[in-house]
């Protein structure tokens, strides 16, 4: 058994920010499934929404966030996160993140981008690869911390709680079992403060802008430990994922539309004008639904994002990553519109926490996309997520270091693998994995109905039974653990969606197309048992 003052699972912006702060107070393990930088953060293109300009105000940012959230944001949480943003951005700059600057009235100022739903230009960015730059700087900062160990190629299997061990004390999180991918052994980590910073669950859908690691591990582990889960029906579909047979999950940033990009249908029409007066820069839920409708109506396989009217030099300078990637797939965005489709992008719900990352289980914190603080409500405003991750990680670290360590150290049992054998039926894992992702896409996507949700629910129950059998009979592997988590999270999304008999924000159902404030202006809260 290994012991740390803080065990952090996940190495994106939230996990690393927490680790940097906690390391001043004690020993830290950062456990991550693949390499340190294999995170959703590193894929973030757009940037961080934060009030930094004289033309902007906290009040406007709060108003825009509440507007997108469709009545379900927690205003106090939004206010806290928005107003503490500038201080956290200063810390990122101290770590060496150089946000883009431009000439404004003869002097250099931050170059602020505009994205859908924002009334002002307020998105700080590093060209079109903001997340990658932040991730690298945070990892470099971590390397200088002697108190931190980075456990790469290790996947958390399950949380260890006093209830699971049958202790007759208050239930709390005592640590985590972790699979070492290289040796296949499961190690026991004891920690008084365990932090889930595992990101989202985009891989639960067939098409996603997320990297392969996004399999909902944190939500699934928390669920199994009896922690409260909130608002999982609100999955954000990004309107513009590159449509190309060989391109996997490549996002075309909303910033392209922010700089004037226009969505066109297969006939070249600026169709968004028929759906919303804000046109191509309407909020994401509206644009994603409009594209879905346009594709279904016309039978076309995608729509097109056209920024060819902008100067070539501007496009190359502002979007070097997108430009180069599209070129690799034979698309020259200087001369032709980019084929795009909507894809699963962000999990607005998650483990229910307060604004300090505290969950319903003492000793367990959740920060970043895995958590549901009340910031995003029923629909996240673009570029608010890196901001939330940064601010809540800081607050959670501050709260966690103040929580006294437990004086009574408990010895934890080793992982019991029982009578196991190697998985020789990998094909079943892959088949189930594909089936879940396809059924979620077909039945639990941008437009839902009761019947489709019920169908998905029944199928998922069967799959979960099969997977449970596998889990107990075979030696655990990352593939199997991810499949189990994926199935759990898919079922949570479906169950939450079935509870909400209205349409609001990202949850749109043909059977209940109206918003019902009388019955449903509230969070969905699920807990096991």
Write out the residues near ligand SIN by the rule CB under 6 A: 45-46, 253-255, 382-383, 385
d(CA 126, CA 101): 9
Q: Retrieve residue 11's tokens.
A: 């190495």
Q: Per the structure block, which two tokens stand in for 410?
A: 């408990």
Q: Which DSSP letter does residue 368 get?
A: G
Contact between 521 and 460 under an 8 Å Cβ cutoff? The reply is no
Q: Are 339 and 243 in contact, with CB atoms under 8 Å apart?
A: yes
Q: Which is nearer to ligand SIN, 70 or 150 (CB)?
A: 70
Catalytic residue among 132, 190, 193, 284: 284
Of 208 and 383, nearer to ligand SIN (C-beta) is: 383
Closer to ligand SIN by CB, 255 or 463: give it. Answer: 255
453 Cβ contact list (under 8 Å, min separation 6): 443, 444, 494, 497, 498, 509
Query: Shortest Cβ contact with ligand SIN: which residue?
Result: 46
CB of 346 to ligand SIN, least distance (A): 6
Q: How far is the CB of 238 from ligand SIN (least distance, A)?
A: 6
DSSP letters for 110-178: E--B--TT-SS--EE-STT-HHHHHHHHHHHHHHT-TTEEEETTEEEEEEEETTTTT-SS---EEEEEE
Least distance (Å) from ligand SIN to the CB of residue 284? 8
Q: Degrees (nearest 5) of the Cα angle 183, 186, 192?
A: 135
Q: How far is the CB of 385 from ligand SIN (least distance, A)?
A: 5
Distance between CA atoms of residues 485 and 225, nearest Å:
13
**Catalytic-residue membership of 284:** yes
Q: Which is nearer to ligand SIN, 45 or 488 (CB)?
A: 45
Q: Strand, coil or helix: what is 224?
A: helix
User: 23 vs 241, which CB is nearer to ligand SIN?
Assistant: 241
Closest CB 343 distance from ligand SIN, rounded Å: 11
Residues designated as active site: 284
């Amino acid at each position: 058994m290994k012991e740390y003052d803080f065990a952090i699972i996940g190495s994106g912006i939230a996990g690393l920010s927490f680790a940097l702060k906690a390391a001043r107070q004690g020993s830290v393990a950062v456990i991550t499934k693949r390499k340190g930088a294999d995170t959703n953060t590193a894929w973030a293109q757009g940037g961080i929404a934060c009030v930094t300009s004289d033309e902007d105000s906290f009040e406007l940012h709060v108003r825009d966030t509440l507007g997108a959230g469709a009545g379900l944001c927690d205003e106090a949480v939004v206010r806290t996160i928005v107003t503490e943003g500038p201080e956290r951005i200063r810390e990122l700059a101290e770590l060496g993140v150089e946000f883009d600057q431009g000439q404004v009235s003869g002097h250099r100022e931050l170059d602020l981008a505009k994205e859908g739903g924002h009334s002002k230009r307020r998105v700080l960015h590093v060209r079109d690869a903001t997340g990658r730059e932040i991730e690298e700087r945070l990892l470099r900062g971590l390397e200088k911390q002697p108190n931190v160990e980075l456990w790469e190629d290790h996947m958390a299997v399950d949380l260890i709680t006093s209830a699971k061990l049958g202790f007759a004390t208050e239930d709390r999180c005592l640590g985590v079992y972790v699979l070492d991918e290289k040796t296949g052994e499961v190690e026991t980590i004891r920690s008084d403060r365990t932090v889930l910073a595992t990101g989202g669950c985009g891989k639960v859908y067939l098409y996603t802008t997320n990297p392969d690691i996004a399999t909902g591990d944190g939500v699934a582990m928390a669920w199994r430990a009896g922690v409260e889960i909130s608002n999982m029906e609100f999955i954000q579909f990004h309107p513009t994922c590159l449509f190309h047979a060989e391109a996997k999950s490549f996002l075309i940033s909303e910033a392209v539309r922010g700089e004037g990009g226009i969505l066109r249908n297969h006939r070249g029409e600026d169709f968004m004008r028929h759906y919303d007066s804000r046109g191509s820069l309407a909020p994401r839920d509206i644009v994603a639904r409009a594209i879905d409708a346009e594709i279904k109506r016309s039978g076309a396989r995608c729509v097109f994002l056209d920024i060819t009217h902008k100067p070539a030099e501007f496009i190359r300078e502002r979007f070097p990553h997108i430009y180069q990637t599209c070129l690799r797939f034979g698309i020259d965005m200087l001369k032709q519109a980019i084929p795009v489709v909507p894809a699963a992008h962000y999990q607005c719900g998650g483990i229910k926490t307060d604004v300090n990352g505290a969950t319903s289980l003492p000793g367990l914190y959740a920060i970043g996309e895995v958590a549901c603080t009340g910031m995003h409500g029923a629909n996240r405003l673009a570029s608010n997520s890196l901001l939330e991750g940064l601010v809540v990680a800081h607050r959670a670290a501050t709260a966690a270091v103040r929580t006294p360590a437990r004086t009574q150290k408990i010895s934890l049992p080793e992982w019991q693998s029982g009578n196991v054998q190697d998985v020789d039926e990998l094909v079943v894992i892959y088949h189930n994995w594909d089936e879940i992702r396809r059924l979620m896409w077909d039945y639990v996507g941008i437009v839902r109905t009761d019947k489709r949700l019920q169908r998905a629910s029944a199928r998922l129950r069967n799959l979960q039974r099969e997977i449970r059998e596998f889990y107990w009979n075979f030696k655990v592997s990352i593939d199997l653990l991810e499949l189990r988590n994926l199935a759990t999270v898919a079922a949570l999304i479906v169950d939450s969606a079935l509870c909400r008999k209205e349409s609001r924000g990202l949850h749109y159902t043909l059977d209940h197309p109206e918003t019902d404030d009388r019955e449903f202006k509230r969070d969905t809260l699920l807990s096991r048992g």
